[in-house]
C-alpha cells in the first residue's frame, strides 16, 4: 500500500478550515471544553482547533487505521489534549460517554472520502488509476467493492447505483457488470471504469465528468454503509452536545446533505401540533441554525482548494436539551 507521509499530511489543508474553526470556537473557549472530530482524517481540522482554542481537548474518531496513525504523528505535540479513537462516527455517543463524561461542547463532521484515501493509489477509490477494487475506509473489516460486484444479484447492484449514485443508466451498468463478471472477476478500478464507460451511451459522456463517477460513488457508499451510518450519527451527535454546544457538518453530495439538513431542521422547528393553543416548553426548538441554508466555498477557497467545489456546510447551536419525545431510539 502507498502510505502518505506525515509531511504530506501537514501540507494538506481541509476544506473551509478557518470557517469551521470560527463557527466552533465560541463553544470551545472555556477550560475543559471538548470537541469530537468525528472524521479525523489527517488531522487538519483538529490541529487548527487545538492551535487556535488553547482551552480545548479534542477526541478524534476515524475508522481508518492509517488516518489515525498519520494524525497521531501530526498532533503528537499537543500531548493529552488529543485522543485518537478507532471507531465509526455513529459510535459518537459511546465515545463521548467513555472519554468526555457524556457531553461535549463541539462536534465536527467532514463527510465523504478523505484526501488520504483518495491519494492512496492502492485503495481503489479513484477511477483514474489502476488499483485493487477495495474502497473500504477501514481496511481491517468488511467486504470490498470487488466482493459486492461478484456476489450481489443484478437487481441489488441496480438499486445501489440508483439510490447511492443517482445513476440514470443503472440498468445498463448493472447488466454490463453481471455479464462481465461471468467472464472474469472485476477486481480493479480501471476494469470497473472501462465497463461503465462502455455501458453509458456516448452522447451522455459529453457532459457531467467521467462516466464512472456515479458508479464509484455508489459502490463506495454501499461498501462503507455511509448513509446508514450518517442517519444514525446525526441525532446522536446533536444529543451529545451540551447546551450552547455547536455542530458543524460538511457534506459533498446531495444524499449526505439531505440527511444533515433534515436532522437539523427537526431541531429548529417546534414539535407542538399546530392546533395546540400554546407551545409547551418541552416542544420548543432545541437548535438554532448558525448559517443560512447550506454554505458553499467562495472564490478564494475554490482557488486554493479544488476539492471544495462541491462542499455544503451546515452548522447549529444547541439552545436546550433534546426533549425525550424527539430522541430517536
pLDDT in tens, 300-318: 999 988 889 999 999 999 9
CA distances from 128 to 120, 211, 213, 259, 264 (A): 12, 11, 10, 29, 36
Query: Domains plus CATH for the chain?
Result: 6-116+226-326 (3.40.50.150), 139-224 (1.10.150.170)
Query: Does the pLDDT at position 10 exceed 60?
Result: no
User: What local confidence, expressed as pLDDT, does residue 299 receive?
Assistant: 93
User: What local confidence, expressed as pLDDT, does residue 120 receive?
Assistant: 67
Residue 12's pLDDT band (cuts 50, 70, 90): low
- C-beta separation of 106 from 247 below 8 A: yes
Q: CA 49, CA 58: separation in Å to the nearest integer?
A: 8
Q: Which DSSP string corresponds to 139-157?
A: TTSS--HHHHHHHS-HHHH
Say which DSSP state 253 is in.
S
Query: Does the pLDDT at position 229 exceed 60?
Result: yes
User: What local confidence, expressed as pLDDT, does residue 327 receive?
Assistant: 86
- C-beta separation of 161 from 218 below 8 A: yes
Query: Does the pLDDT at position 199 exceed 90?
Result: yes
Q: CA 236, CA 232: separation in Å to the nearest integer?
A: 7
Q: Please state which of the ranges 26-30, 183-187, 266-270 shows the lowest mean pLDDT.
A: 266-270
pTM: 0.90
pLDDT, average across residues 176-197 = 97
How does the average pLDDT of the chain come out, rounded?
A: 92
Per-residue buried b or exposed e for 24-52, using 16+ beta carbons within 10 Å of the residue's own CB = bbebbeeeebbbbbbbbbbbbbbbbbbee
Query: Does the pLDDT at position 204 exceed 60?
Result: yes
User: What local confidence, expressed as pLDDT, does residue 118 receive?
Assistant: 65
Residue 5's pLDDT band (cuts 50, 70, 90): very low
Q: Which DSSP string corresponds to 118-132?
A: HH-GGG---SSS--B
pLDDT, average across residues 28-39 = 97
Query: Does the pLDDT at position 11 exceed 80?
Result: no
Amino acid at each position: 500500500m502507498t502510505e502518505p507521509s506525515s509531511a504530506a499530511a501537514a501540507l494538506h489543508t481541509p476544506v473551509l478550515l478557518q470557517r469551521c474553526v470560527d463557527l466552533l470556537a465560541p463553544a470551545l473557549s472555556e477550560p475543559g471544553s471538548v470537541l469530537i472530530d468525528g472524521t479525523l482524517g489527517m488531522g487538519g481540522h483538529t490541529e487548527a482547533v487545538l492551535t487556535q482554542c488553547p482551552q480545548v481537548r479534542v477526541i478524534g474518531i476515524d475508522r481508518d487505521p492509517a488516518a489515525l496513525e498519520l494524525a497521531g504523528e501530526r498532533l503528537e505535540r499537543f500531548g493529552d489534549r488529543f485522543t485518537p479513537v478507532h471507531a465509526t462516527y455513529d459510535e459518537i455517543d459511546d465515545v463521548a460517554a467513555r472519554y468526555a463524561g457524556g457531553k461535549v461542547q463541539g462536534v465536527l463532521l467532514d463527510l465523504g472520502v478523505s484526501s488520504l484515501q483518495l491519494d492512496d493509489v492502492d485503495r481503489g477509490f479513484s477511477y483514474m488509476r489502476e488499483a485493487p477494487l477495495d474502497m473500504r475506509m477501514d481496511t481491517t473489516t468488511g467486504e470490498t467493492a470487488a466482493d459486492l460486484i461478484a456476489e450481489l444479484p443484478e437487481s441489488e447492484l441496480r438499486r445501489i447505483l440508483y439510490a447511492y449514485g443517482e445513476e440514470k443508466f443503472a440498468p445498463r451498468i448493472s447488466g454490463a457488470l453481471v455479464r462481465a463478471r461471468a467472464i472474469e472477476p472485476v477486481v480493479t478500478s480501471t476494469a470497473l471504469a472501462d465497463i461503465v464507460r462502455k455501458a453509458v451511451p456516448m452522447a451522455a459522456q459529453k457532459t457531467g465528468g467521467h462516466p464512472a463517477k456515479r458508479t464509484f460513488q455508489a459502490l463506495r457508499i454501499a461498501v462503507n454503509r455511509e448513509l446508514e451510518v450518517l442517519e444514525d450519527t446525526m441525532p446522536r451527535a446533536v444529543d451529545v452536545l451540551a447546551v450552547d454546544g455547536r455542530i458543524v457538518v460538511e457534506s459533498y453530495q446531495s444524499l449526505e446533505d439531505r440527511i444533515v439538513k433534515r436532522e437539523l431542521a427537526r431541531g429548529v422547528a417546534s414539535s407542538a401540533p399546530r392546533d395546540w393553543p400554546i407551545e409547551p416548553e418541552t416542544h420548543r426548538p432545541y437548535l438554532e441554525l448558525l448559517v443560512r441554508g447550506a454554505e458553499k466555498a467562495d472564490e478564494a477557497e475554490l482557488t486554493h482548494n479544488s476539492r471544495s467545489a462541491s462542499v455544503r456546510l451546515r452548522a447549529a447551536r444547541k439552545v436546550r436539551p433534546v426533549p425525550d419525545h424527539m430522541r430517536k431510539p
